[in-house]
Structure 1
Amino acid sequence: MADKCHMCLLGRIILCALLTGISGSEVTRVFCSSGEDVRLSCNKALPGWTSTSWLYNRRQETVELIDRGIQKNNTERHERLSLGSDCSLNIKKVTKEDRGLYSCRQYVNEQQHGADARVYLHVLHVSSSSSKSEIRSGRSLTLFCQLYNDDRVSCDTSVHSEGLDLIWVNQAGVNLQTDSRFQISFSSEQCLISLTTTLLNEDHNREWRCQLKHRDQLKTSVTYTVKCPSK
C-alpha cells in the first residue's frame, strides 16, 4: 500500500517587494504573498496621523479605511489594519481579497494637500487540488500559483508588458519547466501557473517554490514541502 503523504506549508520567502513608476510615475506596486504582513507607504507624508486618510478602491467602489488618523470599523478586516508612525498603512496577514488600489490622502487646514499617493497591492497565493488527507504517493497532485491583481490591471499587462514572470522551481532554484516529471501550464487570463506531478516516496521533505520575478529579480515566493511519514 502506498505511503500516505501530506503537504504542509514549510515557509514563505517573502520580500513584499515594490515597483515604483510602473503604469505611471505616481503609482507604486507592491507584491506580497498571502498570509504575510505588508506596509503600504504614504510617500512624502506630512507629520501627524490626524492629517492622513487611507482609501481603498476595488470593483469601482471606494471605501474609507482611515479618516484623519481615525480607523473606520465598518469593514470586516479593520482589526488587521493599523496606521504606522510614518502614516503608512499596515495590513496583517494579507489575503487575496486585500488586492486592489490604496490611496493615501493628506490634509492641511481641512484642505487636501497635494495629490494622493497611490499603491496597487498584488497578492501571490498558492492552493492545492487536494486536501492533506487525499494526498498520497502514487497519486497526481496539482498546485495552483496565482497572482491576484487589481481588477483594472489585466494579467497580460502585468506579465507581458511589465516584465513579470511566474515560475515553479525546486530546492536548488532550478526551473521545473525543464523536468519531464512536471507538467506546467500558464493561464494568461487568470495570471495562474499550475504544476502537476505524480508523487513519489522520494518526495519526502522535497520543496517546490512558486516565484514571482520582475526582469529576473525575485519579488516574492511561496515554498511548499511534501511530507511522507514512514509506515
Structure 2
Amino acid sequence: MKGMKNPMRHLLLTSLLLTGVWCEKDAVFVYSRLGGGILLPCTNLVSPDCSLISWTFYSGRQISYTQIVIGGRISANSDKSTRMSVTSDCSLRLHDLSSDDAGSYVCQKHENTITNVYLSLLAVTALSKITDLQPGGNLILSCILFTYYDAGSCKSYSNVFSLNWATEDGTVLPKESRYELIGNNCCNITLVTKLRREDNNRKWRCQVNTTEESRTVFQDFTSAFLFHNPSTAQNPILSSAMDCPVQLPISRIVLCVALPVLVIIVGFFTWRGDHKRPKTSAAGFELQEFS
C-alpha cells in the first residue's frame, strides 16, 4: 500500500501542474498577505447553481488533497471552515490567511474542473536584533512568497510573478552600496541595509510583480529606532534645560545660594544648643550629690 501511495501522489501533483500550465484560460493566479483576505473566483459558470459546485484544495507543502466545499456547502471537516464562505456566484472567500492556505484551489461542477485558482501569500520577517535598529546598524528583512506549490520554491512554471524591495510609494530601491540583496529569486528575497539617521520610522516595502493585470500586493516594515539618541540641536527642550542656570535672574541666584547657607547656620546653632544641655544637667546633678 505504501508503494502505491507515493506514485498516486506524484500522479495527482503532475495532473494539477499540467492543468495549470496547459489550461491557461481556466487558470487564475491570486496573491495576498498573511493575515489578510482573498476572493477565489469560480469563472465560466453558465448558471451559478452553487448546489452543483464543489471546491478542492491541494497543498504542495503538506502533499495533501482535500475537499473543502461539497454541493455548495462548506465541509465541516476542513480546517478552514471557520474562515471560509461561499459567495452568491459560487466563488470562495477566505480571511485570516495563514501560510498553510497557500496552494491550488479547484472549482468543479459535476466533478469537471471549471477553474484552477493558485493562491500565493506574501510574508516579511525582520531578522535583525532590536539593538541593531539604529544608525550604523544592519537591517535584515526577509521576504518570502508562499507559493501554491511550496514556500519560496520557484519552479519554471512560476515565472508569472517576481519580488522586489521598494520604497513606500512603490519605487524600486536604487542600486546603492548600502543595499544588498541575498538569495535573490522570484519567490525569496532578503534585503540587508546599513541604516542611517534618516531611516528612523521609514517604511520598507516588499511587493509582488506579476505578468497579469492584477493589483500589486505588498507588505511593509517600519524601521523604528528604539535606542535612537537625537543630537542636541534636534532637542530644544533638553538644550533649554541645560542652559537654565545661566539664564536665571540675579535675585533668584542669591536666593538659591543664601537659603542653603541659612539652613546650615540654623542647624549648627541648634545642634550646639542641644549639645550643651546634657552637660549642664549632669553638672547640676553632681553638685546636688556632693552637698
Q: Same fold (TM over 0.5)?
A: yes
In which range does the TM-score fall when normalised by the shorter chain? 0.7 to 0.9
Task: Select which of 150, 169, 173 maps to 2:170.
Answer: 173
The structural deviation recorded for 1:152 is 7.2
2:268 maps to none
Aligned AA (2:194)? T
Distance in 2 (CA, whole Å) between partners of 1:228 and 1:152 is 34
The structural deviation recorded for 1:40 is 0.4
Aligned AA (2:57)? Y
Greater helix percent: which structure?
2
TM-score by length of 1: 0.75
Q: 1:173 to 1:150 in 2, by over 3 A?
A: closer
SS of the equivalent of 2:21 reads coil
TM-score by length of 2: 0.61
Deviations 1:95-117 (A, max 9, x none): 2211111011123xxxx4x4332
The structural deviation recorded for 1:33 is 1.9
2:154 maps to 155
Contact 1:177 1:184 in 2 (8 A): no
Q: Which structure's relative contact order is higher, taking Cα pairs within 8 Å and 6+ residues apart?
A: 1
Contact 2:20 2:116 in 1 (8 A): no
Matches within 5 A, 1:90-129: 90-107=93-110, 112=111, 114-129=112-127
Distance in 2 (CA, whole Å) between partners of 1:205 and 1:152 is 33
The structural deviation recorded for 1:92 is 0.2
Unaligned 5+ segments in structure 1 are 1-20
The structural deviation recorded for 1:199 is 2.9
Distance in 1 (CA, whole Å) between partners of 2:81 and 2:142 is 29
Q: 1:28 to 1:140 in 2, by over 3 A?
A: same
Distance in 2 (CA, whole Å) between partners of 1:97 and 1:198 is 33
2:52 maps to 51
1:8 maps to none
Contact 2:168 2:205 in 1 (8 A): yes
1:81 maps to 84
Q: Which moved more, 1:209-218 or 1:141-150?
A: 209-218
Deviations 1:173-227 (A, max 9, x none): 3322512221112344x82110012333321221111111124976311122222
Greater strand percent: which structure?
1
1:139 maps to 137
Distance in 1 (CA, whole Å) between partners of 2:187 and 2:77 is 31
Rg (Cα) greater in structure = 2
Distance in 2 (CA, whole Å) between partners of 1:226 and 1:196 is 13
1:40 maps to 40
Contact 2:106 2:113 in 1 (8 A): no
The structural deviation recorded for 1:141 is 2.1
1:206 maps to 202
Q: 1:42 to 1:172 in 2, by over 3 A?
A: closer
The sequence identity of aligned pairs, in percent, is 26
Contact 1:177 1:183 in 2 (8 A): no
Distance in 1 (CA, whole Å) between partners of 2:148 and 2:171 is 30
Contact 2:21 2:157 in 1 (8 A): no
Aligned AA (1:150)? Y
Distance in 2 (CA, whole Å) between partners of 1:84 and 1:187 is 38
SS of the equivalent of 1:125 reads strand
Distance in 1 (CA, whole Å) between partners of 2:49 and 2:197 is 58
Task: Select which of 208, 220, 224 maps to 1:223.
Answer: 220
Unaligned 5+ segments in structure 2 are 1-18, 230-291
Distance in 2 (CA, whole Å) between partners of 1:179 and 1:85 is 50
